[in-house]
Amino acid sequence: MVCAVTFQRHGRLYYADPGGLSLQVGDQVLYPTNDGPEVAEVMWPPQFISEEVGRLPVLLGAATASDLERAAVSRKKRASARVAARRLIREHDLPMKVSGIDYINDRNHTTIYFTAPHRVDFRALVRDLSATLHGRVELRQLSARDEARLTGGLGSCGRELCCSTFLVDFEPVSVRMVKDQDLPLNPLRISGACGRLMCCLKYEHPLYQDFAAEAPAIGEEVDTPDGLGTVVGHNVPSESVVVRMTADGRRTPCALASVCASRKAYEASPAAQPTDQ
């Protein structure tokens, strides 16, 4: 059984073992974290899955009235910390932007996440923040991808950002993946909300690699059910190639499984060359 919870509406989903709890969407539960149990809202009710999933955190139970009150206090502390941080950043004239706030009730510990174009000396700022918030304050600088994960938003596909919902780790994305997928090298088309290459370019790249290994190259002569022709285009999502027929010059899409290289091209390939015994 697996369910999904979130700490803030429209925020990242965290998967958990319901631990025998009967839950519905909107229920408030206690999710275990490194800093103790935190109140979270159920976004997916418990459901069976066919895949084997291990090491999921087990929910600690339904949130009580005292838990909800503690969560409300934490929200107020975070709101006041955000206002104080922005005011003091302006007073210290630092090139920083507050991206998120965490607050731990038990330790009176506030963590402020920020972004900046370069490294910032914020020692004086931390002292003023500690005096203003009457507790321990820690500042952490985020990268562009981490900021997008924390703040959330909508991607060019119209859906919520992968990094702020289900993506756990950032896998490297390169320009080579863009070229392999025959996408235009236009930053507006291939960049995500963070300004970096979109993470989803990684999802379909293995399909393009497998297709390139099996499909005849553009310009190669092939034999199709309609006759001989020359490959003039690829369509990876439909696993087909576009062939210009030799007989009449028309272009027709052909399934990859129905296309084979011409006898002449096969005889010229290394696979057809005789080997020394």
Going from the N-terminus, what domains does the chain have, and what CATH number goes with each? 2-63 (no CATH), 70-142 (3.30.300), 150-209 (no CATH), 215-272 (2.30.30.140)
* Alpha carbon distance 242, 233 (integer Å): 5
Is residue 138 within 8 Å of residue 103, measured between CB atoms? Answer: no
Interstrand relation of 2-6 and 14-16 (parallel, antiparallel or unpaired): antiparallel
pLDDT tens sequence for the chain (277 residues): 888 898 877 677 888 888 888 899 989 999 998 888 889 999 988 888 777 666 888 899 899 999 999 899 888 999 999 999 999 999 999 999 998 898 888 788 999 999 888 888 888 999 999 999 998 999 999 888 888 887 778 888 888 888 877 777 788 888 989 988 888 888 888 888 888 898 888 888 888 888 888 888 888 888 888 788 888 888 888 888 888 888 888 888 888 877 776 544 445 555 445 555 4
Q: Which amino acid belongs to residue 277? A: Q
Q: Which amino acid belongs to residue 216? A: P
Burial environment of residue 252 by CB neighbours within 10 A (0 to 12, 13 to 18, 19 or more)? middle
Q: Which residue has the tokens 């009580």?
A: 64
pLDDT in tens, 127-171: 999 999 998 999 999 888 888 887 778 888 888 888 877 777 788
The per-residue pLDDT for 28 is 92
* Alpha carbon distance 124, 114 (integer Å): 16
One-letter-per-residue 3-state SS of the chain = CEEEEECCCCCCCEEEECCCCCCCCCCEEEECCCCCCEEEEEEEEEECCCCCCCCCCECCEECCHHHHHHHHHHHHHHHHHHHHHHHHHHHHCCCCEEEEEEEECCCCEEEEEEECCCCCCCHHHHHHHHHHHCCEEEEEECCHHHHHHHHCCECCCCCECHHHHCCCCCCCCCHHHHHHCCCCCCHHHHECCCCCECCCHHHHHHHHHHHHHHCCCCCCEEEECCEEEEEEEEECCCCEEEEEECCCCCEEEEEHHHCEECHHHHHHCHHHCCCCC
* Alpha carbon distance 156, 175 (integer Å): 18
Instruction: Classify the C-alpha dihedral 86-89-93-94 as positive or negative.
Output: negative
Q: With a threshold of 0.75, does the pTM exceed it?
A: no
Is residue 101 within 8 Å of residue 76, measured between CB atoms? Answer: no
The per-residue pLDDT for 277 is 47
